[in-house]
Each structure stands twice: as C-alpha cells, then as structure tokens.
Structure 1
Amino acid sequence: MLGALTSFCLMAIGGRELSEQMDTFQILFYRSLVGFLIISLVIIFTKQTYLLRSDKSARHVLRNLFHFGGQYGWFKGIALLPLAEVFALEFTVPLWTALIASVFLGEKLTKEKGISIMLGLLGVAIIVQPGIEIIDPASLIVLGAAICYAVAHSTTKSLSKTEHPLTIVFMMCLIQLPIAFIFSLSDWQTPVGTDWLWLVILGVTALSAHYCMTKAMLTAEVTMVVTMDFLRLPLIAIVGVFFYQENFEIALLIGASLMVGGNLITIRKTGKQAG
C-alpha cells in the first residue's frame, strides 16, 4: 500500500508538472506508450505471448473508451483543481460502480450499498457545495471522470472472469495509445528537459499503483487496504500545500470521510457474507 500511495501521488505531481507544457491528450499518449512498452516486454520476457491476444475485443474497446475518458477528466482536474479535491472526488468511484453493476451486471443493490451511495452523495455535496457558490466546472469534469472509471471497473469485472490481468492491461495500452495520439496532434509539443523524466514517472507509476493495490488486496483484508487508501487525501493535500501553495479545506476531509465510511460499510458486509 505504501507503494500504491507513493505511485498515486507521483502520478498526480507528474500530471500537474506536465500540464503547464503539454496538452492532456499528449500526456495520455506518452503514458500509454510507456505502459505499452513495459507490459509488452514483461509478457515477452516471461514467454507468455498468448496474453497478447483476446477474443473479447469489443468488450475491451468499450472498457477503454470509458477508461480513457476517466483518465482525461482526472488529468484535466489535476491541472485545474487543488490536488486534494481531485483525490476526494475520485472516492466517488465505488458508489457509481455499485449503481452501474446493479443495473448492467445484475448485482443486488443491498441496504448497505444504498447507505454507501447516500453517504457518498452527501460527501460530494459537502465538497462541491452547491448553492453556496457557483460550482467549479472542473469539479464536474472530475465527477464525470469518476463515472467513466466506474463503467470501466464494471467492464473489468466482467472481463476478469476469462481474461488474464496482463491481457487487460496490455489491451488498455494498445487501444488507448492511437486514440491519445490522434487527439494530441492538433496541439503537439515536443517534450524537453525534465518533461521526459515526468513522462517516464507517469507511465511507470500508472502501472505500479495498480500492481501494488492488487498485491495489497491479496495479502491483507480489503477493509485495511481501503482504509490505508484514504491516506492518499492527506498526503496529496500536504504536497499541494507545500509545493503548490494550495489551501486545504476541512470540507474536503469531511466529505471524503463520508465516502470512505460508506465504502467500508459495504466492504465489511460483503466480507461477513463471504465468511
């Protein structure tokens, strides 16, 4: 989890640093390029080339169109909003996932999930503060990104029944690479100096964050993993305050706490049923 937390924070810092010189689509292009090279080398080196193919192409395309939209909104939010607010709004992904899974995957919407969704929406209201002032459009972009991520997560769950994790990640990079390249052509900026360092960091941390999170899920209780994941918010808030002179509002902490609390209710209930 320490590896995951470090990776998520470095990814956000890299996105913020690059946003001053590069368009978001170009950042996503290089992110996919680095990821594609690393995953391809891992698969080839381990002599598992069969993982480079899939007979679920349509489902992979659907997943990655939404995942690409989620990434675009997330990196756009990183450039426009305080880092802590982006991370806080990202905690809504589980509640959107629960709603989407109940509609499209036939998963039962239990009382616990209902409470989780209500707490999540309340947390969003506290963070965005509708009615107090004009809602920042960038906040809506990040919320849209969270919904896109939720669709991608639901599709991933469906794919994971038959597809190897490396295949899912490889197809992600393969599909998103040309999409990002085409959209980035209209405002292409050649990376210079430290840009290359941040681009490599982005590509590596994008993979290491998910790898570390998955390994943590396998070696510890999900409740502990989710609780530790909440540390992303105060950590990135510290980065924002000291490196980017951002203000940290208590509303962010309260809203995000409600979201995490709702997620923990659902996870504990699921754990008891599994036991």
Structure 2
Amino acid sequence: MNAPVESPLRGILLKCLSVTVFTIMAAIVKATSDGGAGVPAGQQVFFRSFFAIPVILLWLVWRRELSVGLSTFRPMGHFYRGMIGTAAMGLGFWGLALLPFPEVIAIGYASPLLVVIFAAMFLGENVRLFRLSMVMLGLLGVLIVLSPQLGFGASGVPDYQRTLGAVVTLGGACCAALAQIFVRKLVQEERISAIVFWFSVTSTVLGLLTLPFGWVMPDVQTLLLLVTTGILGGIGQIFLTSAYRYGEASLVAPFEYVSMVLSVAIGWYLFGEAATPTMLFGASLVILAGMIIIWRERQLGLERRRQRKAMTP
C-alpha cells in the first residue's frame, strides 16, 4: 500500500483523537480501580491488552498488511520491549488507583524527557547543552508536581499511599521511556504494525500471569468497562500510528499536551479531584520544556535539510 500524502491537519486531528481516546481509557482504568470494583493493575493490563488485539488485527486486514504486519525478524527484541512496556503500563495503572487523575497524567510527561537522557546513555545520541537544560527544567516541573506527595507540601505531613502513588507513577514513566528506546531499535528492522501487535500479545501473556496474585470477579458493568479499555487502547494506538503517517513528528507531537486539559476536566467532573496550583505550575514547566525541545529539534531538522539541498548539485 502506498504511503499516504502528507496532510498536517489530518495528522494533528488524528493525534488529538488518540490523546482523547487514551485519556478516556485511563479514566476508565481509574474508575475500575476505585470504589467497590478494586480491580488490580495486572488484571487491568490483561483486559487492556487482550481486547486490543482484535482491533489491531482488523486494522491490518483493512490495510491489507496482515501477512507482513505480523512477521518479525527480532522476536526477542519484541519480548524485551514487551516486558518493559508492560511494566510501564502496570505501574501507570497502579498509580491511577493511588493518585488524583490529573497528577498521574502530569507525572507521565516525564517520559519523553527521560527518553532524551536514556538515548544518550544507551544509544549514544549526542545531547547538546540546550536540550539537556530543557530536560532539567522539565524534570524540575515533575519534582514540583511530586512535592506534595513526598511530604514537601504545605502540610509537611506525608500521606504514604499517595507517596507510593508518586513513586510507582514516576517508575512507570521511566519504564515507558526505556520502552521507547527499545522501539527506536526495533523500527530499524521491524514494521510499526508488528511492534504494536507483538507488544499487545506480550502484555496479554504477562498480565495473565498475575492471575494468582489477587484477580477479582468483576460485575457485569465493571467487566464491560474493562473490555472497553482494550478496545479503546487498540483504537488509540491506530490513531496514534496514523497521525505520524500524515504529519511530521515535530508538528504532531506537541498535541500530546491536550491530555492535560482533558485530565483536569475529567478529574474534576468524574472523580471530584480539583487540580491544585502546585500541580498546574509543575505541569506547565514540563509542557514548556517539552515544547521547546520539539521546536528546537524541528529547527535543527529544517537547517539540516537546507544544508543537504545546498550540497546537492
């Protein structure tokens, strides 16, 4: 199938749709964690992954890529990526049960910042002082978001459940960043469709392995919500993948921060969780740092293109 014609507006729309779908999915995960349902994170990972697989397969059939989309030359690469990605998902879901919804989303913004550091450590990528300074600014914002949960807030009295939530959510962001490093290696030889599919398979198996550690028998409503997380996860992944087919990453990526507005609204409306000034200020620093990095990378990319054109006879 031919690559689609570049369409920036379509790419932006698909990115916003993916962010909206993933944010709603996260809200459902939190809803099944809270209250009487009490579904553990491992069980949520299983439903999120297993019911995403049919959606992904239907997408591949529609694109006529089923035969090539599932083939792989690096099965162990997919396994390692699946292990760390599943850890990221499980920790993130656990954090949703322990922290207010907007705070989990804000702490998750640490992930792309950590990718910069991990890429320098494990891939040998050159990180200049400007980009490193922006990463430090973003991580300062994350620390500000975390500070009330670590006993540095106005009361000075730590809530150990929320402290645990802060730690596991940040751990999830670290694992998500490491998963992106694995993806960067895999995309050199593997199709995106294969990476998406085999991750869902791996996380399904790993989620199922948590069955002896306290799964619950959900009622019909909770069961439907759990199935919905998988369907939304698959749809969101398709929207996300398609967004980067139609628009450059430097143009599409900043719209990830639409999730901040959505999470504040959902947290207030569904869970009665008002965003605090500390959280909003810290999140603003993280978003600012991330957008400056994206803008800078775009400028450097344009400069490299001009240099290549100038050298072309």
Q: 2:49 matched to 1:4?
A: no
Partner residue in 2 for 1:113: 131
Give, in angstroms, the shift of residue 47 of structure 1. 5.6
Work out which of the residue numbers 292, 298, 301 in structure 2 matches 1:274.
301
Work out which of the residue numbers 191, 196, 209 in structure 1 matches 2:218.
191
In the aligned structure 2, how far is the partner of 1:38 from the partner of 1:93? 26
Contact 2:52/2:232 (CA < 8 Å) preserved in 1? no
Partner residue in 2 for 1:39: 56
Partner residue in 1 for 2:194: 167
Report the residue type matching 2:51 in the other structure: V
Partner residue in 2 for 1:200: 227
Report the residue type matching 1:192 in the other structure: D
In the aligned structure 2, how far is the partner of 1:141 from the partner of 1:125? 14
Contact 1:34/1:200 (CA < 8 Å) preserved in 2? yes
Alignment of 1:142-181 (within 5 A): 142-181=169-208
Q: 1:112 to 1:206 in 2, by over 3 A?
A: farther
Partner residue in 1 for 2:27: 13
Give, in angstroms, the shift of residue 163 of structure 1. 0.8
Work out which of the residue numbers 52, 56, 59 in structure 1 matches 2:70.
52
Aligned-residue CA RMSD in angstroms? 1.9
In the aligned structure 2, how far is the partner of 1:67 from the partner of 1:82? 23
Alignment of 1:57-76 (within 5 A): 57-76=75-94
Q: Larger deviation: 35-44 or 165-174?
A: 35-44
Q: Larger deviation: 234-243 or 153-162?
A: 234-243
Give, in angstroms, the shift of residue 147 of structure 1. 0.3
**Residues 199-245 of structure 1, C-alpha deviations (whole Å, 9 max, x = no match):** 23211221222332333344445455344321211221111112211
In the aligned structure 2, how far is the partner of 1:115 from the partner of 1:209? 32
Give, in angstroms, the shift of residue 105 of structure 1. 0.7
Partner residue in 2 for 1:229: 256
**Residues 115-135 of structure 1, C-alpha deviations (whole Å, 9 max, x = no match):** 221111210121112534337
Q: How many residues align?
A: 275
Q: 2:136 matched to 1:122?
A: no
Partner residue in 2 for 1:103: 121
In the aligned structure 2, how far is the partner of 1:163 from the partner of 1:17? 36
Report the residue type matching 1:13 in the other structure: A
In the aligned structure 2, how far is the partner of 1:136 from the partner of 1:7? 28
Work out which of the residue numbers 280, 293, 297 in structure 2 matches 1:253.
280
Contact 2:73/2:190 (CA < 8 Å) preserved in 1? no
In the aligned structure 1, how far is the partner of 2:295 from the partner of 2:145? 25
TM (norm. structure 1) is: 0.92
Report the residue type matching 1:185 in the other structure: P
Give, in angstroms, the shift of residue 110 of structure 1. 1.3
In the aligned structure 2, how far is the partner of 1:265 from the partner of 1:214? 23
Report the residue type matching 2:256 in the other structure: D
Partner residue in 2 for 1:94: 112
Report the residue type matching 2:115 in the other structure: T
Structure 1 unaligned blocks of 5 or more: none
Contact 2:78/2:195 (CA < 8 Å) preserved in 1? yes
Contact 2:29/2:93 (CA < 8 Å) preserved in 1? yes
In the aligned structure 2, how far is the partner of 1:115 from the partner of 1:86? 24
**Residues 85-126 of structure 1, C-alpha deviations (whole Å, 9 max, x = no match):** 000000000111111110111111112321221111210121
Partner SS state of residue 275, structure 2? coil
Computing the radius of gyration over CA atoms, which structure comes out larger, 1 or 2?
A: 2
Report the residue type matching 1:85 in the other structure: E
